[in-house]
Structure 1
Amino acid sequence: MSRLYTLRVALFALFVALSAFFAGCSDDDSSIEFLFDREISDVSVLQECAKDADSGSYCFKVRFRYPIDTENLETIYLWVDSTVVGDTAKTVNDDKIAKATDSFKFPSGTESLFDTIDVTSYIQDFVKAGRDSLLVAIYCDYSSGRPGTVQRVYLHFGDKIDPSVVTITDSMWTTGYLMEWSRSTDQTNYYEPNELSGPIYGYNIEFYTEDKDEDIRNLKVKLETPDGIDSTGETFKIHYRITANNDSMWVDTVSHGDRVKNYLRIMVTDGKGYNQESLDSNVFRLIVEGLKAESRYSVTISSWDVSKNESDKFWKNFMTTDSVAPLMPTKLFTIKDSLFPETARLDSNNRLAIFWNRSVDPYKRDHGIGVDSVLTIPDTCLFQVCYDTVQTYRIERLNPCSGTWDSIAYAGGSNRYSKLYKLSDDTMKVSSTGNFVTDTIRWVSPGDTLIIRIRSIDMSGYYSVALVDTIVVSPGALANEIECPEGFVPVKASDTTALFCMERLEHQNDSGAFMTNVLHSEALATCEAISADGFNVSLCNERDWELVCLSGGKLAYGVVQEDTLDVLQFLITDCNVSTNDSITAMDVSKRTSRCMNSMGVRDLPGQLQEWVNGRSEDTLAVLKGGSYKILGGIEREMQAQCVRRSFPVFTRLAYTTDSVYLYREGTKVDTVFAADTSRTLYKVLTQKDFTDSLQFFDVQDSNGNSVGTDYAPYSEYKKGGDEWLEKIGNGMKYVPDHVEVVFLTGEHVSYRGVANFYKSPSIGFRCCAYKNE
């Protein structure tokens, strides 16, 4: 008898005891009790075809774990569709068993824990009938005793998933409106959630005004698509829309008579999928001209994929502006740093204060106001006679990676533009007669160069000409003591350790792509190959990485945190922790600079886990930081903590080559692996009695270097062959080494030896540069 059988018996006894307890407390003692250890578990769907499957078939297999208790298990029944066994049924009677789609006998004596059923042949008629999903129910029939409940899983066919909701950015002027959006993403396969490049058929757009007397049916329309500019209607149609029913999808005209003259409907054609390699090739801009000044309108937009699925509608109000734009100065002012006088100083929380001469909104074009670093208002131009204040300001920062303007969230509070400042001896002081206003830019790294754009907005929503200025930020006190190689920033692990340099981001190759899916040894070699005068470059030491992340114990996650922010939400939205969003993790232009510590090191809690050098020879290959990947069983906040360390493992069958001791207890036999002199020995098994075999492999990297040892059941290796070896190799070469006769204990263990040959797309690294002594 195996140890696994003993475990099953123990679990069954525990379940019976718990059942008796809950039965005594139940409000309804007559209710049917189902045994959890007599039902299948871990049901999953594999979308793969058998070798002899017909071309074009929808191929599916259902994989499951056998029940814990297989004693007296006779037959496993399967039903496709819910006409016989519904989606809430817990048990089945003889009539339903007779109508089972298929059944098979339990292979008595098998040591396999899992099995797979190919359901491809059962589902083709349902697919042809247009079904978008199908229930598969599985039930275990025992020769005696109560059963477990029916278990089920759903199969999903084709593209029944709506494209993503279109969101727009816009701007408006006196008589016109511009709306910009990116092509929708579309998941075409339920089982491939990361494939989001399904083709988009087109977009329905509708403009509306509550003024029923205003005729907007014949507005001038221009469309800028990834393929060019269209003013003639080749890629859009006015008074048309995409529509669909159960059978087909088509473009149809919409009513545009005098009763609906306050509507304008536009259909835009597309036909392409989202391009992750070139974000600019996904951008659309629609411009309409001929609107009334200072009037309110609304716009809605939805997208359609080629499988008749429509996204939810995005809806927005806007208002055209008046005829005179507000005025902005041409220069920003900052507080200078004493160590680097030509640069702007950051405060202790990595915030940058900026100041500018406040904007004004003239009533007429011949206002006489001079525009320069400050606005000069003549004595003849009186407040609220010649001009008024503006409503607010829009502040943006140029993203150097994507080339887009990112809106900046303020730190100065809702009344920040009501407090006035006066320039005095190169500094700003609060003054009731001042002409300057301020705002605060958060999450700025030491040594940053910021390009800032500020536009004022008047009461009607009219934007001013932009103030665009460049601010060079002080590299800080640490940079005054050490000059780091390019791409590295100065850091200090603690007050008692020397300064060194760390890469600002995870390591990137020469083309700017993050290096992932590398071995620990490959990461180490990459860092050591970097040449920097006066420095020894290597993979970061674990303790150094951790202390930099903690920043002297001030930061739990290695990020500057604002009191007003929820930690969990910050880790999700800014550090991409445990979101499964690999696209953001791999594209630096999609990341936010907000996930950084006070020294300017970015993305320590999330994006990619990082290889570091461990603290001893036994734990050399260590992982630090969180990941975009959802790590099973680990809470998001826990995996993001600076102090957390982890080791990659594979789950492998536990085995022994030592003697195995069998002790009889009634009709049962207990298997143990150490002699127990207090019990009556039934039998001792030695290696000559063992019937299990393991195949051991020498694991090699792409250069043929041996990096570790792995093993698998010999029967699996012989059955799977080279194709199976390649699949489990994960890019490594598995060379058969030797076979050992063993006793499998029936348990699974975490095999730590895998750390030397583990690779994953979610794991990268960053290098550290240490001063030569």
Structure 2
Amino acid sequence: MMFKFLTKWLFLPALIALFASCADDEEGTEFLFNREVMELSVIRGCADENDTSACYRVRFSLPIKKDDLACIRVWLDTTVVDDTSKAVSSKQIDNSTMCLEYDENGSRLADTVDLTKEVKEFLDKDYDSLQVAFFCEYSDNGDPGAVQRVFLHFKDDLLPSSVNVPDPVTWTDGAQFEWHRSTDQTDFYKPAELSGIIFGYNVVIYAEDSEEDLSDIKVILTTPEGVDSTGKKYYQRHARIRSTKDSVWVDSVSRGEKKKNVLRLAVLDGKGFDFDNDSLNRYSMTIRGLRPMSVYTIGIAAWDAVGNQSCTECLSEPKNNKRFDTTDSVAPVMPTKLYVIEDTLFPGKARLDSNNRLRIFWNMSVDPFVVDHPIESDTVVVIPDTCKFILCYDTVATYVIEHYDVIAKEWKKFDYVIGDSARYGQKFQLEKDTMMVSTRTVNKNGTAQALFVTDTIRWVSPGDTIILRIRARDKSGYYSAALIDTIYVSPGVLAAELECPEGYVPVSVNDSTKFCMERYEHRNDSGEFVYNVLHSEAVAACEAVSASGFKVSLCKERDWELVCLSGGALSNGVLVEESVNSAKSLFSYCNVGTNDSASAADISKRDYRCTNKTGVKDLPGQYQEWVIGKSEDTVAVAKGSSYKVFSGLDRESLMLCTNRSYPYFTRLGYTTDSVYLYREGAKVDTVFKADTSRTLYKVLTKKDFKDSLQFFEVQDASGNTIGEDYAPYSEYKKGGDEWLETLANGLVYVPSEVKVVFLTGSKVAYRGATAFYKSPAISFRCCAYPE
């Protein structure tokens, strides 16, 4: 050990004079950093590792200049050397707790002093913490170094973290606040441990109007433990948390007439911060019964389990706390008419842009402050010159746009936006027949200008009739009267050239070929979708449709594909916005691979967003669709995908316009030709084509075959033969008519012949079954070609 304790030390007069010159009230004193101890730190453990009692040691680096270092003075507490002084006087030196003598022969750079014995008397006096001051004495009469300090912490004297209250949600007569449980460090020497118990929170709500009485406003508190709307479980009204040296409690506060505009609440907690589940740290407070258009503040202070509180000053002056304002109680004013960009080919009808978007405009809504406002509404909102902005009215928060679903017979909100809520910030002015961006708020004659806002409706089909309902919503959550208007969308250029039958839309596959296609998959006279039909039945159903000037047939594969591609602009036959994930939208909007057959069959559940540029719906999903193959000898082809989940198949590939499916049944593979056996050692290899490079073991011909298959003539309900099928003869004989009905799947299986064959041991996709294949996931749509 480099130091020893000196119980008595005689001072030379020059040395006394030196310290007298270092008094606090002496100006101009220079302190040399190389004459002071550095890097002070507290070691709470005992020197003897087996000693578990409370020990306090201070480790420090010796001053850089060690020559003439006579002693290092140490003081405990602040009664002799306070926590701000840089120098000490001779009187203070005489009252030091100890002096550590430096051994000039030592070579150590740092050392540790054990203060456990000296600290004990302060622990007995119930101190929370203690200052330890160090000052280096030199015998060379030179300038001293500054006093250095370290603090010993015995108890929890650390404040919990301050409560951060985000901007609240406010309305006419109330507000909602949210905050997270505070963290609390209970041990100064363990800064990473922040889960100390929070006793609770003092909340103060203040009204700027001193005449407003907050005593009985409604308070609903939601805590991690539950909800309290009465103040009898998780909070107390007219109360606050207090503490003394040894206790923390909730005390009631006066409700005097002079403080009726202040409400104090004590919110109870009792838990520490939960680092594993953040939802268990959240608090929410809703207050109701405030005055409209008034100013308030809120302050929240956290208290830990020993009485330390954060944010003391935020409760002492409530008017300086976080401000929030309630809103007015008057609904916004809304115009009664929509404006659109007209199509010159079809006057009075709205024109779509190249991506099937419909631009709409309406006169800007405003939010008056008083019920008897002078603002009038018609096709535009008229604001008199006497009604000044901010004094008489304000802007609205946003608009809600809905459309009426005539099939479901209900209003449905558009659940998308072109931009964010700021899209209503740009204003327009109507000049003749054109909407121009406006930079003025008043006209040249000084009267209020009729300004318009805009939005864009997406996924609109040519010829649509859209009933829109637009309501303005102010900052209070009040809705205006609804602007309800009907928009008739132009059917487009193709409709001007080709008048299609009802339920069909005009389409084009090139500049010269135009025809009509059913908007949805085929429906019967009752409006029900037709599915689970044979390819031949689909052909017959379309050919039975009568339309003057058109020849109606099942759509041809190439025509279906080109309409789906829309000139190469679409890969799946569906308009896709850049902001929407393509695959996700197809699955969500087009009911692809969901196994939801009910939604496919119910037109009211179809999504308007599953559409192509010409208004043809549901090409990639809902049902697969029979088409006429590209050549006469092509077996029946299905296009698109469906609601059905096809195990092991790529759903996105199935949805491509260019994809073609051949429905089939799996059957046993067989041959009626010769079978060749080749020996390779002890193994015999069976092949179905001669291999001259190998040594032949044996050839099996029809007379050697042991297997037999029963073939059937497959007939439809009318007795027409539509194909051939087969099954193992043994299964047919064993199962009988009941088994045959299962195989037939509603068709008629007439046994035709038994063939002796050689079964190859494999299963094959029997495409001949497409002629009599039907599925609940396959429908069709018809095309009408001009005669």
Question: Same fold per TM (> 0.5)?
Answer: yes
Q: What residue is the counterpart of 2:429 in the other structure?
A: 422
Of the three residues 365, 374, 377, the one matched with 2:380 is: 374
Q: What residue is the counterpart of 1:678 in the other structure?
A: 693
Q: Output the TM-score relative to the length of structure 1.
A: 0.59
Q: What residue is the counterpart of 1:514 in the other structure?
A: 529
The answer to whether the 8 Å contact 2:398/2:421 transfers is no
Q: What residue is the counterpart of 2:756 in the other structure?
A: 741
The answer to whether the 8 Å contact 1:422/1:431 transfers is yes
Of the three residues 474, 486, 491, the one matched with 1:458 is: 474
- Distance change in 2, residues 1:561/1:294 (3 Å): farther
- Distance change in 2, residues 1:654/1:620 (3 Å): closer
Cα offset, 1:483, TM superposition: 0.4
Alignment of 1:327 with 2:342, yes or no, is no
* Structure 2 residue matching 1:744: 3-state secondary structure: strand
The answer to whether the 8 Å contact 1:321/1:460 transfers is yes
Deviations 1:380-434 (A, max 9, x none): 2111111110100110111121112222222255421000001111221111235
Moved more, 582-591 or 349-358: 582-591
- Distance change in 2, residues 1:680/1:353 (3 Å): same
Runs of 4+ deviating beyond 3 Å: 172-176, 210-217, 254-258, 290-295, 319-322
Alpha-carbon distance in structure 2 between the residues aligned to 1:759 and 1:260: 65
The answer to whether the 8 Å contact 1:550/1:556 transfers is yes
Q: What residue is the counterpart of 2:98 in the other structure?
A: none
Q: What residue is the counterpart of 2:398 in the other structure?
A: 392
Alignment of 1:365 with 2:371, yes or no, is yes
Q: What residue is the counterpart of 2:232 in the other structure?
A: 259
Cα offset, 1:717, TM superposition: 1.9
Residue type of the alignment partner of 1:667: A
Alpha-carbon distance in structure 1 between the residues aligned to 2:413 and 2:399: 11
Q: Which runs of 5+ in 2 are unaligned?
A: 1-169, 175-204, 206-213, 221-226, 236-286, 293-324, 441-449
The answer to whether the 8 Å contact 1:175/1:293 transfers is yes
Of the three residues 629, 635, 654, the one matched with 2:644 is: 629
Deviations 1:711-758 (A, max 9, x none): 111122222222222222222222222211111000111101011111
Q: How does 1:123-202 map to 2 (within 5 A)?
A: none
Alpha-carbon distance in structure 2 between the residues aligned to 1:530 and 1:516: 17
Cα offset, 1:258, TM superposition: 6.8
- Distance change in 2, residues 1:327/1:490 (3 Å): same
Of the three residues 462, 469, 487, the one matched with 2:503 is: 487
Q: How does 1:197-346 map to 2 (within 5 A)?
A: 259=232, 323-346=329-352
Deviations 1:539-576 (A, max 9, x none): 11111111111111111111112122221112111122
Residue type of the alignment partner of 1:379: D
Cα offset, 1:681, TM superposition: 2.3
Residue type of the alignment partner of 1:439: D
Q: What residue is the counterpart of 2:785 in the other structure?
A: 770
Cα offset, 1:703, TM superposition: 2.1
Q: How does 1:92-103 map to 2 (within 5 A)?
A: none
Residue type of the alignment partner of 1:443: W
Deviations 1:336-381 (A, max 9, x none): 1100011011111100000001111111101011111111111221
Larger radius of gyration: 2
- Distance change in 2, residues 1:617/1:413 (3 Å): same
Deviations 1:483-515 (A, max 9, x none): 0000000000112x3211001111111122111
Q: How does 1:395-410 map to 2 (within 5 A)?
A: 395-408=401-414, 409-410=416-417
The answer to whether the 8 Å contact 1:527/1:537 transfers is yes
Of the three residues 426, 433, 438, the one matched with 1:431 is: 438
Q: How does 1:425-574 map to 2 (within 5 A)?
A: 425-433=432-440, 435-495=451-511, 497-574=512-589
- Distance change in 2, residues 1:212/1:630 (3 Å): farther
The answer to whether the 8 Å contact 1:694/1:713 transfers is yes
The answer to whether the 8 Å contact 2:402/2:469 transfers is yes
The answer to whether the 8 Å contact 2:342/2:350 transfers is yes
- Distance change in 2, residues 1:734/1:577 (3 Å): same
Alpha-carbon distance in structure 1 between the residues aligned to 2:554 and 2:689: 43
Residue type of the alignment partner of 2:577: E
The answer to whether the 8 Å contact 1:610/1:764 transfers is yes
Alpha-carbon distance in structure 2 between the residues aligned to 1:175 and 1:514: 52
The answer to whether the 8 Å contact 1:648/1:755 transfers is yes
Alpha-carbon distance in structure 1 between the residues aligned to 2:326 and 2:517: 50
Of the three residues 681, 704, 711, the one matched with 2:719 is: 704
Alpha-carbon distance in structure 2 between the residues aligned to 1:702 and 1:175: 71
Alignment of 1:598 with 2:613, yes or no, is yes
Of the three residues 703, 707, 711, the one matched with 1:688 is: 703
Alpha-carbon distance in structure 2 between the residues aligned to 1:396 and 1:660: 71
Moved more, 665-674 or 731-740: 731-740
Deviations 1:39-71 (A, max 9, x none): xxxxxxxxxxxxxxxxxxxxxxxxxxxxxxxxx
Residue type of the alignment partner of 1:483: E
Alpha-carbon distance in structure 2 between the residues aligned to 1:410 and 1:654: 56
Moved more, 709-718 or 327-336: 709-718
Alpha-carbon distance in structure 2 between the residues aligned to 1:582 and 1:329: 43
Q: What residue is the counterpart of 1:48 in the other structure?
A: none
Alpha-carbon distance in structure 2 between the residues aligned to 1:293 and 1:399: 40
Cα offset, 1:531, TM superposition: 0.7
* Structure 2 residue matching 1:536: 3-state secondary structure: strand
Of the three residues 610, 619, 625, the one matched with 1:610 is: 625
Q: Output the TM-score relative to the length of structure 2.
A: 0.58
The answer to whether the 8 Å contact 2:171/2:475 transfers is no
Residue type of the alignment partner of 1:422: Q
* Structure 1 residue matching 2:520: 3-state secondary structure: coil
**Percent identity of equivalent pairs:** 63
Residue type of the alignment partner of 1:456: A
- Distance change in 2, residues 1:294/1:648 (3 Å): farther
Alpha-carbon distance in structure 2 between the residues aligned to 1:216 and 1:760: 60
Cα offset, 1:470, TM superposition: 0.3
* Structure 1 residue matching 2:424: 3-state secondary structure: coil
The answer to whether the 8 Å contact 1:698/1:735 transfers is yes
Alpha-carbon distance in structure 1 between the residues aligned to 2:604 and 2:326: 32
Q: What residue is the counterpart of 2:130 in the other structure?
A: none
Residue type of the alignment partner of 2:488: V
Alpha-carbon distance in structure 1 between the residues aligned to 2:639 and 2:326: 52
* Structure 2 residue matching 1:341: 3-state secondary structure: strand
The answer to whether the 8 Å contact 1:215/1:261 transfers is no
* Structure 1 residue matching 2:232: 3-state secondary structure: helix
* Structure 2 residue matching 1:569: 3-state secondary structure: helix
The answer to whether the 8 Å contact 1:503/1:767 transfers is yes
* Structure 2 residue matching 1:486: 3-state secondary structure: coil
Alpha-carbon distance in structure 1 between the residues aligned to 2:652 and 2:537: 29
* Structure 2 residue matching 1:485: 3-state secondary structure: coil
Q: What residue is the counterpart of 2:357 in the other structure?
A: 351
- Distance change in 2, residues 1:689/1:507 (3 Å): same
Deviations 1:203-256 (A, max 9, x none): xxxxxxx99976699xxxxxxxxxxxxxxxxxxxxxxxxxxxxxxxxxxxx999
The answer to whether the 8 Å contact 2:714/2:725 transfers is yes
The answer to whether the 8 Å contact 2:329/2:369 transfers is no
Alpha-carbon distance in structure 2 between the residues aligned to 1:699 and 1:611: 20
Deviations 1:427-458 (A, max 9, x none): 21111235100000001000000000111111
Q: What residue is the counterpart of 1:39 in the other structure?
A: none
Alpha-carbon distance in structure 2 between the residues aligned to 1:679 and 1:447: 71
Residue type of the alignment partner of 2:425: S
Alpha-carbon distance in structure 1 between the residues aligned to 2:667 and 2:216: 75
- Distance change in 2, residues 1:555/1:689 (3 Å): same
* Structure 2 residue matching 1:259: 3-state secondary structure: coil
Alpha-carbon distance in structure 1 between the residues aligned to 2:609 and 2:500: 22
